[in-house]
Amino acid sequence: MSLKNLSGVCLDQNKSLPIDTACLSINNLNDHVVTFLSNFEDCFLCYGQPVADIPPNTNTTIQISTKYPLKIYYNDTGATKPYIWCGSSYSFKQHGRYGWNITKDNSCSSVYTLYEPWNPYLPLLAAVMTYLLSFAIIFTSKLIINVVRTYLAKHAESHNDIDRLQESESTPEMVAVSKTAMRLQALDAFRGIAVLLMIFVNNGGGEYVFLNHAAWNGLTVADLVLPWFAWAMGFTIVNSVRVHLRVSVSRTRLIIMQLRRTVLLILFGLFINSQHNSTLSELRFPGVLQLLAVAYFICSVIETCLASPQRTFQFGRFVFLQDILERWTQWMVVLVIILVHTCITFFLHVPGCPRGYLGPGGYHHYGLNVNCTGGAAGYIDRLIFGQHMYQKTMNPVYGPTLPHDPEGLMNTISAVLIVFMGVQAGRIFVTYYQANSRIIRWFAWFVATGLLAGILCNFSQEKGWVPVNKNMMSLSFVLCTSSFAFLLFSILYYLIDHKKFWSGVPFIYAGANPILLYVGHYLTMGLFPFAWETGTTPTHASVLAMNLWTTTLWAIIAYLFYMKDFLITI
């Protein structure tokens, strides 16, 4: 039998396989050509796509992707009527070598392992252990230093009576209040986790699939970053508006201040987008900061127009719901916005597409809706923005698609609910003064939003009425990510501000300067010393090390700014 290598890498001992690839040797025992087909298991309702024609009585080696479990088939082209005779699904491992036999009786063997690869997640485990060990050493060192200082203080010579008398009669020292001392530590830690995680995943996340955005439906760690940032932004709105109204700042002036912040965020977002394409005719208008800016402005205007400087109502037996009942008009406005968004999503007529389509197009639904990427949301963005939107047209799972912007107009409207969930969390904070009352309510919102999200998506990735989808910023996605935000913030508040078990270090440093880190990491992306070219075939270990270094370096920069009490706000 002849041996053919279609990849040019699998049989060359001097070459290394790229990240997330493996080699599959297909042994065709038939006397005629067969076609090898495959598709990722995550590709919902997809046909297998032709990969290569396998000559008769040959062993053909091809390079395959290991990002997701792979479905493999073969099509017997020698039969009177082409047909996929058999197929299987297999989770190939990075840099592994596998075999698959296609026999003469229209059947195939199971996939078998020729070379067992090493675990690609070992570098991630090593990184986690390194960071935990570093934190343990730092914590232990601080504990020892504090114990020594306490011991020395107790055994130091006391001042004489004259010194004590002079101290008692002296003028009390002025207490300097820094900007950082007046901040809610749990919120800074929450925001710091979000922004550092954003830097990590934006730089590659070690090229691990679960540390990058989901191909379409589903939820990964990277998908939590943007909604958490939006949620934290909403949290700050309540107290900001209340303080300004209490010092008699007019609502008109306050809205102008909010508009100024919105415009600055949008300009920063356009500035970041211009890095990738400075041509005005193709400059992308939507973006992360643009989405945050518009969603923030809508929620802040709602809060400004409908909030009162002082609490004036009590509700008897419903006093435990006063944070909701006092602001029921705001809830009505936001619910109307979400209702309009939902009606457009499910009832707008999109030419050539079924109503309410939420899929990616491409191979999805057996290719019947190939030009329907993003449904109504994608159609509106392409209609309004044209070339001024995200132009990626190759989905890693669903193949060629139409342009679709994950921060487009409809997604921005959907993000209003995420920001408003943060507003609700902030309202709980300013309405109730006991820590337990706050934590119980935040936890209740975690349960309620999580259950509602589960009901909408039917607790499955693909089969629910409204799947969890970051690309579409679906209602179930908004509720699910808000649920995790309520849970994480409850934990942080309990540990940091309530029980004071933890100071929030090192995340509070990044959380105090989120705009600096967000804009700065985009401007320096790919530049030394934040990143570098290795000159060799990258691996998960090398990419992960560089991405963690980038994130750590920005955390150090945030620490230096924090120590200098230098906070950049808009």
Cite the active site residues. Answer: 213
Task: Give ∠ CA 526-530-534 in degrees, rounded to 5.
Answer: 65
H or E stretch including 70? strand 70-76
Closest CA to 521 of 275, 292, 291: 275
Q: Look at residue 103 and give its three-state secondary structure.
A: coil
First to last CA, the chain: 69
C-alpha 74 chain-centroid distance:
37
Task: Give ∠ CA 488-530-225 in degrees, rounded to 5.
Answer: 20
Could you give the count of Cα atoms lying within 13 Å of 22 in the half-sphere of its Cβ?
28
Closest CA to 530 of 510, 556, 569, 560: 556
Give the β-pairing of 2-5 and 49-54: unpaired
Q: Maximum distance among all alpha carbons in the chain?
A: 110
Give the β-pairing of 58-65 and 2-5: parallel
Strand order of the β-sheet with 70-76 is: 49-54, 34-40, 70-76, 84-90
Q: Tell me how far CA of residue 519 lies from CA of 272, 273, 288, 510, 525, in angstroms.
A: 7, 11, 11, 13, 10
For residue 361, count CB atoms less than 10 angstroms from its CB and return exposed for 0-12, middle for 13-18, buried for 19 or more.
buried
Closest CA to 108 of 27, 44, 218, 213: 27
Phi, psi (deg, nearest 5) at residue 494: -65, -45
